[in-house]
Amino acid sequence: MIRACPHCGVENRIPARHLAHRGRCGNCKRDLAPLSEPLSVGSEEFDDITRNATVPVLVDFWASWCGPCRMVAPEVKRAAEDLAGKAIVLKVDTEAHPDLAQRYNVQSIPNFVVLAMGNVVRQQAGAVNRQVMRQWIEEST
């Protein structure tokens, strides 16, 4: 994954297994905080992250036309901030990546999946708040 340094703007390549860790910019040597925002991914990035992550992964399956998905998006963003260093939060657009939705038998959205070591530990359809998302992650560790 490529992440821009918030201090100098230089792009840094971060392996999926280190997205939840504190790192250091290759250019300015300042700290790079753990990923603290939802990451929109396609199939290749999804597989890399879920296969190599050292922390649980919370996946939000959504679509732009879905009202409840748009309503829950701020909660997903806040959950990613709350869970920085403890989990990775991914967003999968089911319209753009129907293969991933089919792989997880997503039939209604929003749909949340928690993966640990690449295995599904929880899946739930419907809007939830960030406290529930945090609880799912705590229960999966």
**Catalytic center residues:** 66, 69
- DSSP assignment, residue 36? -
Alpha-carbon dihedral angle through residues 116, 120, 125, 129, given to the nearest 10 degrees:
-10
| β-bridge partners, 124 | 112
Distance CA 56, CA 1 (A): 17
Q: Are 25 and 8 in contact (CB under 8 A)?
A: yes
Q: Is 18 helix (H, G, I), strand (E, B) or coil?
A: helix
